[in-house]
Amino acid sequence: MPDNLIEYAVERLRKTRSSPAARCKVCGGESNPFDMVDFYKSCQTTLYPLGLSGIPVIYRKCGECGFIFTDFFDDFTHEQWRCHVYNDEYYARLDPDYLNVRPRQTARDFVAFLAGRKKSTIGLDYGGGNGRTAALMRENGWIFDSFDPFDFTDVSQERIGRYNYCSAIEVFEHTPEPVATLRAILAMASADRLIIYFNTGVHDFKVTPENRLTWKYVAPRNGHISIYSSKSLQLLGAGFGLTFSSLRSGSHAHLFTRGISKSSARFLLLRGKLLRRGLTALKMWRGGLA
């Protein structure tokens, strides 16, 4: 595989032209090229803070479930991800909240969502980045481990197969293989009652034939390569016997659950949202993680 990104892009374009239709990575439906953006398109308000790379990235859309994805990164090696996406520039300019701000926000979200369940929760933060979120949870008395294929991992071998609360914060939009990623989470999770709390943008009503991929969330430079519809998330979970729940179509917070009714799952999301607001107000008064 060429190390030069331009040569790599040319190779990907040739594959797309020779095989314009592809199978959806979620449901297997026919997925044709939908739109093209520059590799440097980001999630920032200014979509191209780094300028243009001149490298086209084609996204496909499934005609069955609405899943939008690019296969541009399908052959990327770990080293290429490090070099071209998750490099120093990414953390400094494109995702500056990664190191400290987001872990603290995420830990507060978990505390609110899991209120009253400290003794029964065995938590795993899948795709947990630098491990700071799990560390903050442990500092506050929770059993919580972290796993990240690109960063920090401290998974306890004795707890593999026992994790009954798994989180995947800003994970599913980054994976080129949604089914494999969910399978990997379940391989470490409890086989019984299970909650998987995850967040990702849903493109319902945001991506249309008119505006196509102008939505800033579709951003290859941020590693946003898998963009879901509500239907595609429902099908992704159903493939593993999981129920998908979300409060509303525009929400970024979702659940995959097993052994929990859909109404109970929605109640948990709503309660967590309301408690989070209360904890945020309390934090502003007391300081630190409530």
Domains of the chain (ranges, CATH numbers)? 102-201+242-286 (3.40.50)
pLDDT band at 276 (very low <50, low <70, confident <90, very high): confident
Which letter does DSSP use for residue 228 in this model? B
Q: Minimal CA–CA distance to 233: which of 189, 143, 172, 285?
A: 172
Work out the average pLDDT over 124-149: 96
In 127-193, where do the E strands start and end? 143-147, 165-169
Structure tokens belonging to residue 255: 């659940």
Cα(17)–Cα(255) distance, rounded to whole angstroms? 37
Cα(181)–Cα(186) distance, rounded to whole angstroms? 9
H/E stretch holding 216 reads none
Inter-residue contact 207 to 201 (CB < 8 Å): no
Tell me the three state secondary structure of residue 230. helix
CA distances (Å), 114 to each of 103, 148, 248, in order? 16, 22, 20
Tell me the three state secondary structure of residue 90. helix
Count Cβ atoms below 10 Å from residue 199 Cβ, excluding itself: 18
In the chain, where do the E strands start and end? 22-23, 30-38, 56-62, 68-69, 122-126, 143-147, 165-169, 194-199, 226-227, 243-246, 253-258
Cα(69)–Cα(35) distance, rounded to whole angstroms? 10
Radius of gyration of the chain (CA): 19
- pLDDT of 99 reads 84
Cα(55)–Cα(199) distance, rounded to whole angstroms? 28
Whether the pLDDT of residue 151 is over 60: the answer is yes
pLDDT band at 161 (very low <50, low <70, confident <90, very high): very high
Residue that the structure tokens 């060429």 belong to = 2
Residue that the structure tokens 């500056």 belong to = 96
How confident is the model over 13-58, as pLDDT tens digits?
Answer: 998 888 888 999 999 999 999 999 999 999 998 999 999 999 999 9
Cα(158)–Cα(231) distance, rounded to whole angstroms? 36
280 or 215: whose pLDDT is higher?
215
Q: Point out the least confidently predicted range of 71-85, 242-256, 274-288.
A: 274-288
Tell me the three state secondary structure of residue 38. strand
pTM for this model (two decimals) = 0.92
Count Cβ atoms below 10 Å from residue 82 Cβ, excluding itself: 13
Pairing of strands 253-258, 243-246: antiparallel
Cα(237)–Cα(194) distance, rounded to whole angstroms? 12
Q: What is the full DSSP assignment across 236-249?
A: HHHTTT-EEEESST
